[in-house]
Structure 1
Amino acid sequence: MVSLADVRRWKPEGLDAVHRELGKRRDDLISLQDELDGAKNPDGWTGKAADSAAQQHTKLLADMRTLVAEVATVRVAVAAAADDVTKIKQQLTQAEHEARAHGFQITEEGGIKDVNPPKDVPEDQLEAVKQKRIQVRDKLVDTIEKILDEAERTDAELAKALTAANQDTIQPGKGGTLADAANTTQIQALVASAGKPKENTPKANAEWWKSLSDEQRAALLETAPGWLGNRDGIPAEVRDQINRANIDDERAKLTEQKQQLREGGVTDDEKDKIEEIDAKLRSIDTIEKTIARENPPRQLMLFDTSGERVKAAVAVGNVDTADHVSVFTPGFTTTVDGSLENYDDKMQELVTESEQELRRHGKHGEVAAVTWIGYEAPQWDELAEDDHSVLGADAAEKGGAKLNDFYKGINESRDTDPHLTAIGHSYGSTTTGYALQKGDHGVDDAIIYGSPGVGTNDIEDLHVPEGHAYRLEAKNDAVADLARFGGDPSHMEGFKDLSTAKSKEGAEVTGHSDYLNPDTTSQHNMAVVVAGIPEQAVTGKTDGVGDVLSYLPHQTQELGSKVHDWGAGAVDKAKDFGSDAVDKVKETGSRIKDLFS
């Protein structure tokens, strides 16, 4: 029997550590597949020694498959137990808080002791107070009984898996490899019972995941189906684990494709395809290098090798638990292999600055920031392509639809919505604009900088709370005055202008690319918005050439009128002068003619 004292001693973090260690052991065992294959009898070897060696190899393979199956099964059981223990501990903490609030104590045996009854209760209220306390006590008794029942079930399930592994009764999965062995019948049954969401929407994905049992979730995490890691609405920690587990498989697939293309000579088209695959492999390397960073850990929330280029989204911090989450979308020429590491650096600096600003102003909170390269941003060599040029909005509109789902997914996956900030730079601000126009996104604040437009001239189309849309433009940023997509945001009513000039909060930035540089006014301004304290921002506006010209419509009209009037008068005078001059020329000509006649 599990006692309440046992439950109080349970530590879910210990189970999490065991789960991670079992994962490493399973991977180590599966990685021995090549060595096992290499240990088979060489072709042509016959005789008693060969037969004996073959039998030993078969037995070794069977033992290895059983061991892999046992590790995988126990790992699933440990993961489910860790989730169960976390919930049980949370329920117990809540019950103990309730007990203390009413003067009760939950004993080591699970009893309810009245340690602080109310004093000086008026006589006419004694019976009512007594009945109320009986109700509280009975509710606590019922809660503790349920906690102990759940604890008993959790303990029994984990013990069942451990016993099966100890007695070698776990059957490996079908298939001849060690990886196949890990997919046991029991795990397959759990995955099959989980099924899939009815539709691929953030809401449907979130509701499906929340409806699963801990055992079903653990089985899905063990088998790591590729489709799960990119589903908006699934918790970030789950997406991260699934996507990391699929990195090696995706690299192997791309490497195999490349080898097949090289067989039998390479055409020009195949050369282009090989270059595309090489870029994807470089992107995978960049992703692995980026997510290996710690302090804080990273989360790989999107990993998609389909299409012409790899798409990825990497979070700095824990999106599932952070109080403040920002999603940054970069623009023109962005690629995973060429841009992710740098932007991840910028997001880490933004997280650090945001948390420092919170502490500086006496507030607390955890911050996470996502670099979202979930669309194929236009490139220089695509300028002439109608459907993917930076001069057109197609890529931004398509990317915006995906980005809108990503925003929704963050909110849907959590029990409590975080303070969510959308950030877009350059063409990424256009993509952000189209994402916001889709509505129902849950974005609380929006920041655009170096923006050629957000696809509309009406701030209400973005569906952002009034007063919570911000714009930054740096000196000498020509892109911010292009007004290519829906007009210049500089002149859209509803945007608040944040300074990029030198201030007590930081240095000035100029040009198109340095807004997120550390120790600058612009970085400070974005950090305080992300932290939910926009009142600490430095306001101000920087005018570009296009803005200066647009501020002078009346003056230029007046000047034009004056030029017109002056020109008309000058023409009239010229006509008068010309008429007199002609007469004088004629008169002079007559005199000259007379002199020579």
Structure 2
Amino acid sequence: MVSFAEVRRWNPGALETVHGELGKRRDDLVGLQDELDGAKNPDSWTGEAADKSAQEHQKLVEDMRALIAEVSTVRLAVARAADGVAKIKQQIDEADHEAQANGFQITEEGGIRDVAPPQDVPEDQVEEVKQHRLQIRDKLSAEVEEILDRAEDTDEELAKALNAAEKDEVDPGEGDSLAGAATPAGVQAMAASAGKPAEDSPKANAEWWKSLSDEQRAALRENPPAWLGSRDGIPAEVRDAANRANIDDTRRSLQDEKAKLEQGGVSEDEQEKLKQVNDKLKAVDAVEETIARDKPPRQLLVLDSSGERLKAAVAVGNVDTADHVSVSAPGYTSTVDGSLKGMDSEAQELVAKSEDELARGGKDGSVAAIAWIGYEPPQKDENLDVFGDSVVSSNSAQEGGAKLNAFYKGINASRDDDPHLTAIGHSYGSTTTGYALQGGGHGVDDAVILGSPGVGTNDIEDLKVPEGHAYRLEAKDDPVADFARFGGDPSHMDGFKDLSTEKSEHGSEVTGHSKYFKPDTTSQHNLAAVVAGVPEQAVTGKTDGVGDAISYVPHQVQEGASQLKDWGSAAGSKIKDVFS
């Protein structure tokens, strides 16, 4: 029988860690299939010794399958226990809050203590107040009893799986495949019984997931369909498991496509398609290398090989539990193979710096930061005419903005609580972020734009973020921040708060277009302060660029308009390097 004091100390995070480690062990064992196949008798070997060797090999296969089935069964039980403990901890928190609000305390033993009875109760209300408090006490006692019953059930279910594995009572099923033993038939059937959401929207996906039984959710964690990883509104840990499981299939599919293109020679028309496939394969490698960084743990939240380029999003930290979550969208020339690892490093630095800012402000809390390349920004091989017509238009930003809006919504919909969510957009990514925010319903609490050529509007109210919670950073010698290419120059939009990029007691100055996340700078400090929800610790200040200075002499702009347009057309190739 578990005690209330023991249940209070239960930690679902520890179970999630065990769940992850068991998954690694299972995958290591399944990965021995090739070695196991290579140890089979050669066809030319016959006789008594060969028969005995074949029997020993078959026994080894059966033992390996039994071990894998046991690891998988325990892992599934740990997943169920983690979900159960998370719910129990939430119940405890709610009961504690209710007790405190009414002047009671739940003791370590699970008793109810009246620590703050009401004072100066009118004599004619004493009995009524007494009966009311007895009702509250009885209600709290019933909640404690329900918590202990659920804890007992959770403990027994996990113990049952552990005992079955210890006594070799787990059935690995039929067949010789090691992978087949990793997902028992019962798990497959339970996962299949969950069905699919009625529609692919953050709200529908979240409601579907929350409607499933504990057994169905645990089975889907163990046997996730590929589509589960792409659904906004599904918990980050579940998306991560599904996307990781889909990496090998994605690579295999791209390799098959490459082989078909190369078969019999590559025509001129197929050259571009082959380049896209090769770039996607490089991007898959970049994703795998990035998520291998596990201190702190990563979560793979997007893996999409459709379109011309592969899309991905990787979180540093746990998006399901973090108090503060940021989502950074990159700009022009960004790709998964060329940009993800660098953005991931910036996210790791931002998490650490944000947690430092929380501590400096005397606050507790955890932080997760997401590098989101969930769209296809324009690339260098596309023509860039700064002032004239250009294929570097708002189209990619608008399409990406719709995806980013759904991604924001999914973070909030997947959770029972409301995290502090910060949207960060750099360069053309700030335009994408602007369109995402204009979609509304996003739940973004703070928005930060860096070196922005525009956010798709001249009215800050269109972004639908709380008043006073939109921030702008512009570095010295950053010409992109003055392009006013997409909706006007944010430097002159009412409502944005200017944060400094210059030297301060909190860090050094940044210059140019690409150093806003650089460690130990005022710019990074300010980003961290906003992400941590302590913007009062940021350093305010505005840096005027060349475009801002010109804006103060409109007659000169009018007189030199044609020269500026000519300059814009001729400077395209140079600006490309600034963007990247």
Classify the TM-score, shorter chain: 0.7 to 0.9
* Residues matched between the structures, number: 556
Deviates more, 1:542-551 or 1:414-423: 542-551
Does residue 1:248 correspond to 2:222, yes or no? no
Residue 454 of structure 2: aligned partner: 453
Residue identity in the other structure for 2:534: I
Map 1:568-587 to 2 at 5 A. none
Moved more, 217-226 or 244-253: 244-253
Partner residue, 1:595: none
Consecutive unaligned residues in structure 2, runs of 5 or more: 562-580
Following superposition, the deviation at residue 353 of structure 1 comes to 3.1
Q: What CA deviation, in whole Å up to 9, does each residue of 1:47-103 have, x standing for no partner? A: 555455444444443443333233222221221023213433443465467668755
Alignment of 1:488-567 (within 5 A): 488-553=489-554
Q: CA deviation at 1:402?
A: 0.6
| AA aligned opposite 1:380 | K
> What SS is found at the alignment partner of 1:84?
helix
2:567 corresponding residue in structure 1? none
- Superposed CA offset, 1:431-481 (max 9, x none): 111111211111222222222222222222222223322222223222222
Residues 49/266 of structure 1: CA separation in 2 closer, same or farther (3 Å cut): farther
Q: Between Structure 1 and Structure 2, whose CA radius of gyration is higher?
A: 1
Residues 259 and 38 of structure 1: is their aligned pair in 2 closer, same or farther, counting only changes over 3 Å? farther
C-alpha separation in 2, matches of 1:520 and 1:107: 47
Instruction: Please show how residues 215-230 of structure 1 align to structure 2 within 5 Å.
Output: 215-230=215-230
**Which shifted more, 307-316 or 253-262?**
253-262
Distance 1:443 1:5 in 2: 38
Matches within 5 A, 1:262-273: 262=262, 264-268=264-268, 272-273=272-273
Quickly say closer, same or farther: Cα 1:518–1:113, change in 2 above 3 A: closer
Distance 1:59 1:204, change over 3 A: same
Give distance in 2, aligned partners of 1:114 and 1:400.
53
- Identical-residue share of aligned pairs (%): 68
Matched, 1:403 2:404: yes
Amino acid at match of 2:450: Y
Partner of 1:281: 281
What is the one-letter code of the residue matched to 2:285?
A: D
Shift in alpha-carbon separation, 1:389–1:557, aligned structure 2, 3 A: closer
Aligned to 2:481: 480
Inter-partner Cα distance in structure 1 for 2:523 and 2:280: 33
Match of 1:589 in 2: none
Q: Which residue of 2 aligns with 1:469?
A: 470
- Larger displacement relative to structure 2 (477-486 or 505-514): 505-514
Deviations 1:507-558 (A, max 9, x none): 3332222222233333333333323333444444333333333322368889
AA aligned opposite 2:552: Y
The answer for the alignment partner of 2:319 in structure 1 is 319
Q: In structure 2, what is the Cα distance between the partners aligned to 1:497 and 1:135?
A: 54
Distance 1:72 1:106, change over 3 A: same
Shift of 1:363: 3.7
Q: Is the 8 A contact 1:224 1:246 kept in 2?
A: no
CA apart distance, 1:125: 4.8
The answer as to whether partners of 2:229 and 2:239 remain within 8 angstroms in 1 is yes
Q: Find out whether 1:309 has 2:309 as its counterpart.
A: yes
1:320-359 alignment, distance < 5 Å: 320-359=320-359
Counterpart Cα distance in 1 of 2:9 and 2:536: 45
Distance 2:89 2:468 in 1: 42
Match in the other structure for 1:141: 141
| 1:174/1:184 contact within 8 Å kept | no
Q: Is the 8 A contact 1:197 1:205 kept in 2?
A: yes
TM-score, normalized by length of structure 1?
0.82
Q: Which amino acid aligns with 2:299?
A: Q
| Separation (CA, whole Å) in 1 of partners of 2:124 and 2:513 | 76
Decide whether aligned partners of structure 1 residues 490 and 105 sit closer, same or farther in structure 2, where only a CA change above 3 A counts. closer
Q: Which amino acid aligns with 1:441?
A: H
Q: Distance in 2 between matches of 1:275 and 1:557?
A: 45
Give 2:527's aligned amino acid. M
| CA pair 97-339 structure 1, distance change in 2 beyond 3 A | closer
* Contact 1:390 1:427 (8 Å CA) reproduced: no
For the 8 Å contact 1:500–1:521, the answer to whether it is kept is yes
TM-score, length-scaled by structure 2: 0.84
1:421–1:530 contact (8 Å) kept in structure 2? yes
Asked if 1:393 corresponds to 2:394, the answer is yes
CA RMSD of aligned residues (A): 3.4
Structure scoring higher RCO (CA < 8 A, sep ≥ 6) equals 2
> Are 1:379 and 1:390, in contact at CA under 8 Å, matched by a contact in 2?
no
